């Protein structure tokens, strides 16, 4: 894992990435910038084209780690760009798109031509756009759209920029523009290689790549359940495989959680912070953890809300669980596996919570959560059988 700092659409970004991660995958999976499309993944079709230090580049064949210190602009970062705005209008006017899959890359390449070409030369435009493939339009509308924008801008006295401001000779991005985030701030996470103690981990806000919504009911009042959630040590004791490694305070809780997926086990050591709102009977737990053996990292967010049931005698606990996983374990972290594991964790947590609320700190706690292949197969078969039964019942109701 490597720690990189770059600017993405005018915002400083720091992240831990694997050396093999492409810039396209990093932007799509980690930053949720899905306007950068993946087509051939060999640098041929141009669907993944974006701006790297102001120059069009293929993000599918560019490693994210090679962009440390770079300035990256995706199609989302061109929302307010003057040339891109004119090109979008021209593409619509000239019917220069159909399915639209190639269009983000087309717009980025076309923007570069509009800046560089002194006049609307059709041959020059076709050569300049030849690295962006389209299976729908036949290119006529695309060429006309680019021509119209170049003609209109030159008519307004906007001159072409020689080489569109390029100042360096060499591969795109090799000169990395000055980046405001080139060095990690003290508030960012240290590289995995330098993490020798959990105390070095800082808990940043993040946008989860996956969110699961779950709920369960307990036969205790919301006030009692909320008081339990305020007791950090008690909550940790109810979570299978979790343990605390220091004296917890809401601002920082240090600990570990052990999970097992068949033959693969991981022990994530990390830290979390706890936020709560007594008036709304809600809260949030935000954490980060590292498994040193697999060199994997996870960030997680649990949002909870307590709803009264049975006139306040019972409580429904609504959970929203978001997470992002990087490293070797991300390769086996398929959504079906993770959902099954999350369901097991929540079910055990609910049982442990109920036991502790009923019997106190001496209540028995379930062991570390484990997911095995046999249980997964039975779970998938059970889910499919349930869906099939619902379809049969649904058709019967319709017929009647």
Contact between 247 and 258 (Cβ < 8 Å):
no
Give pLDDT tens digits for 1-29.
Answer: 788 899 999 999 988 888 899 999 999 99
pLDDT of residue 345: 77
**Domain residue ranges of the chain, discontinuous segments joined by +:** 2-165, 192-394
Report helix angle 82-93 to 103-116, nearest 10: 120
Give pLDDT tens digits for 180-198.
Answer: 443 444 333 333 333 334 4
pLDDT of residue 175: 58
Give pLDDT tens digits for 334-373.
Answer: 556 666 767 777 888 888 888 888 887 666 665 555 545 4
343-350 long-range contacts, Cβ below 8 Å, gap at least 24? 343/214, 344/369, 344/371, 345/239, 345/240, 345/369, 346/214, 346/216, 346/319, 346/321, 347/216, 348/240, 349/238, 349/239, 349/240, 350/216, 350/218, 350/317
Structure tokens that stand for 158 in this block: 């906007």
Contact between 284 and 300 (Cβ < 8 Å):
no
pLDDT of residue 182: 39
Q: Round to whole Å and give the CA distance between 59 and 57.
A: 6
pLDDT of residue 398: 52
Q: Round to whole Å and give the CA distance between 201 and 182.
A: 19
Computed from CA positions of residues 333, 336, 342, 347, in that sequence, does the dihedral angle turn out positive or negative?
A: negative
Task: Identify the residue whose tokens are 């008690």.
Answer: 234
Q: Which residue numbers in the chain have pLDDT < 70? A: 164-204, 260-264, 294-295, 327-339, 341, 361-385, 387, 392-400
Element (H, E) at 356: helix 335-359
pLDDT of residue 190: 38
Q: Round to whole Å and give the CA distance between 140 and 271.
A: 56
Structure tokens that stand for 222 in this block: 């919301």
The topology under which CATH files domain 192-394 is Alpha-D-Glucose-1,6-Bisphosphate; Chain A, domain 4 (3.30.530)
Contact between 342 and 212 (Cβ < 8 Å):
yes
The domain 2-165 is placed in CATH, from the list 3.10.520.10, 3.40.250.10, 3.10.20.30, 1.10.287.1080, at: 3.10.20.30
Element (H, E) at 50: strand 49-52
Q: Round to whole Å and give the CA distance between 51 and 378.
A: 48
């Amino acid at each position: 894992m490597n720690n990189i700092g770059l600017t993405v659409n005018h915002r400083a970004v720091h992240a831990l990435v694997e050396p093999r991660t492409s810039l396209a995958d990093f932007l799509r999976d980690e930053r949720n910038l899905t306007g950068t499309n993946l087509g051939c993944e060999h640098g041929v079709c141009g669907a993944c084209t974006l701006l790297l230090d102001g120059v069009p580049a293929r993000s599918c064949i560019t490693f994210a780690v090679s962009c440390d210190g770079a300035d990256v602009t995706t199609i989302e970062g061109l929302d307010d760009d003057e040339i891109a705005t004119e090109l979008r209008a021209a593409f619509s006017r000239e019917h220069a798109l159909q399915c639209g899959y190639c269009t983000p890359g087309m717009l980025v390449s076309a923007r570069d031509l509009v800046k560089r070409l002194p006049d609307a030369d059709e041959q020059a435009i076709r050569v300049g756009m030849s690295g962006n493939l389209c299976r729908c339009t036949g290119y006529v509308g695309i060429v006309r759209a680019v021509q119209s924008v170049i003609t209109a801008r030159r008519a307004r006295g906007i001159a072409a920029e020689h080489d569109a401001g390029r100042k360096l000779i060499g591969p795109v991005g090799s000169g990395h523009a000055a980046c405001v985030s080139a060095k990690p701030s003290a508030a960012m996470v240290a590289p995995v290689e330098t993490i020798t103690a959990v105390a070095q981990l800082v808990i940043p806000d993040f946008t989860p790549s996956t969110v699961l919504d779950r709920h369960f009911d307990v036969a205790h009042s919301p006030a009692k359940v909320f008081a339990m959630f305020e007791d950090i040590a008690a909550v940790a004791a109810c979570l299978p495989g979790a343990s605390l490694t220091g004296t917890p305070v809401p601002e920082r809780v240090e600990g570990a959680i052990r999970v097992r997926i068949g033959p693969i086990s991981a022990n994530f050591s990390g830290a979390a912070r706890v936020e709560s709102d007594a008036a709304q009977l809600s809260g949030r737990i935000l954490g980060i953890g590292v498994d040193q053996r697999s060199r994997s990292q996870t960030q997680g967010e649990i949002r909870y809300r307590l709803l009264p049931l049975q006139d306040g005698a019972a409580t429904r606990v609504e959970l929203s669980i978001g997470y992002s996983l990087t490293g070797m374990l991300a390769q086996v972290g398929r959504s079906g596996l993770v959902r099954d594991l999350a369901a097991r964790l929540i079910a055990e947590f609910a049982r442990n919570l109920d036991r502790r609320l009923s019997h106190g700190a001496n209540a028995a706690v379930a062991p570390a959560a484990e997911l095995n292949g046999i249980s997964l197969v039975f779970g998938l078969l059970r889910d499919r059988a349930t869906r099939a039964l619902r379809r049969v019942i649904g058709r019967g109701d319709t017929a009647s």
